[in-house]
Structure 1
């Protein structure tokens, strides 16, 4: 940033999922203004927590805003699982893998990415550029005083990743290895961008509010000594029956990550929280509040504090009008 003012801090923004008009509104509320096609603030920068794409009606707008800010040094971003999904869905597998695409084109996978592909259908070159840009997004960020990852900060996996890739960026070789369960690359991408999942007992399912059927639940990583499933479940959907009382097995417990309360502030997205933004711990903020389900697009204004403060959340309710298709000026806003 070529400016005379010192950086005051960062505004961290949760999963946008194509709510591009609401993103512009939130940036304006935070004091950013669009100049020469880029949203800028004289004393702050944005950090996007990933999942810019899929589901929402203004995906191109959301990506354009974020990408321009990042390229102009006004923002940072970490990789979300939906960016990973797009990269693997749109790249063919090499011979000998037994699959045509890195992410198989199943009905479920087709449904997740449908809105994104529809909105870029008449802009194929732009979509190719977006895919190339996504591949350059780091999996995590660590600055003095804070850390950022889309779903889960796993110390061992991140330390191992950074020994080989200090900037935490991946490439196509890494991505191709990561679609094979059991590989180190798979474990890194799965944990950092999707978090920890605990399988449900045979025959039980969760019929999620987003229309998908799930056979596992999302578990958080900040319980010091969890004993039951209810101690770690972190998702809007309730567990079936009385499963919250089910004891964690040794295997399940060993699979969990842990982020201690004395560590520096950590910002995550991914988990489809609902209601008024709140802090799960004094040093962790989840900023995904189901924007594309007409929830809230949430930011946290961080200015160096070691212990987070719920008063620093800023959000915009996503209106039903966000469903409407964008006008051309909303994309070509410069």
Structure 2
């Protein structure tokens, strides 16, 4: 992570999803001023937890703003699942031909729905979009500093240790990107876990239908319950499980897929999970910073100054509903 000299604190910023006007307001509220083409703070460094792109009305502006801060040593961007998905969506597969193009991520209607706003807003700037894709390939997948850790969705210590041991770095390259679409490979397992998190497949062919109409055979689970017994103990997604499923007991195989991020470990900052309401910590050492900005929620930051236990009073946010004209109608929580 390249930072300029003199940074004495860190501001962790949640999922932006193209809400550039709100991002400017949040940075100003945090004391950053635009100078020399980038937002700067005399004593602090901004860390963005990923998902700058997709969904929102000013994706290009938001991405240019964040990249300018990174290039100036004033910010760091962690790769989110949307940056990763964009790389896969736009990278031809080895079997691709001009007559039959094939990409690492299928060009399905569902996938186009997720990335469509980004592609449309970059339609007249193909060279700039290609530059952004090349930059995405260099983004850190996780970050560990002396006092805290950052990852987009889930900190898996075993996978991270394996990746560092095998590759000696915390980012992708083109070969590892191509390998990552195979979920049996180390890059594939790492990207799935770090950018999408834990999930548990529902038993007996059961499924749930979310508010957006998507039928899913799994649900998102968290990783900070010490002794979970039922699905309801670990579910962590906008759509609650049906009552009949929520209190079903997990079997040993399902429990074995989980792990516990203990309160004795370093503070951890994540995004990804479409929270709502008043920003607050998940545990004494875990904070989720995604408060559904692009769905008229809040764009949230946490002011980190090295504390071992996180404090709710250190969240800072801007409400999006009146600050970001051009947002689409309130829509689903679909994410992939």
Indicate the TM-score class for this superposition, using the shorter chain for normalisation.
over 0.9
Give the aligned partner of residue 94 of structure 2: 94
Offset, 1:164: 2.6
Mapped partners of 2:130, 2:101: distance in 1: 22
Whether 1:110 and 2:112 are equivalent positions in the alignment is: yes
Instruction: Report the counterpart of residue 40 of structure 2 in structure 1.
Output: 40
C-alpha distance 296-186 of structure 1, shift in aligned 2 (>3 A): same
Q: Are positions 1:60 and 2:60 aligned together?
A: yes
Q: For residues 85 and 54 of structure 1, what CA distance do their matches in structure 2 show?
A: 10
Partner of 1:332: none
User: What's the CA shift string for 1:52-99, capped at 9, x where partnerless?
Assistant: 000001101110111110111001121100011000000110029998
Structure 1 gap ranges (5+)? 326-334
Q: Structure 1's 109 and 42: CA in aligned 2 closer, same or farther, altered over 3 A?
A: same
CA drift of 1:48 comes to: 0.3
Q: 1:209 deviation in Å?
A: 4.0
**What TM-score does the superposition give when structure 2 sets the normalisation length?**
0.92
Give the gaps of 5 or more residues in structure 2.
Answer: 328-336
Distance in 1 (alpha carbons) for counterparts of 2:326 and 2:84? 27
Q: Residues 186-225 of structure 1 correspond to what in structure 2 (within 5 A)?
A: 186-202=188-204, 204-210=206-212, 212-225=214-227
In structure 2, the CA distance between the partners of 1:203 and 1:320, relative to structure 1 (3 Å rule), is: farther
1:216 Cα offset (Å): 1.4
From 296, 300, 312, the counterpart of 1:294:
296
Cα distance between partner residues in 1 of 2:109 and 2:311 = 42
Partner of 2:330: none
Which whole-Å CA distance do the structure 1 matches of 2:95 and 2:128 have between them?
28
Would you say the 8 A contact 2:163–2:186 is kept in 1? no
Q: CA offset at residue 7 of structure 1?
A: 2.4
Which residues in structure 2 correspond to 1:122-161 (within 5 Å)? 122-161=124-163
| Contact 1:154–1:258 (CA under 8 A) maintained in structure 2 | no
Matches of residues 155-194 of structure 1 in structure 2 within 5 Å? 155-194=157-196
Query: Within 2, Cα distance between the matches of 1:2 and 1:140?
Result: 20
Secondary structure of the residue aligned to 2:190 is helix
Task: Verify the 8 A CA contact 2:279 2:291 in the aligned structure 1.
Answer: yes
Q: By how many angstroms is 1:225 displaced?
A: 1.2
**In the alignment, which of 313, 316, 321 is matched to residue 314 of structure 1?**
316
TM-score (norm 1): 0.92
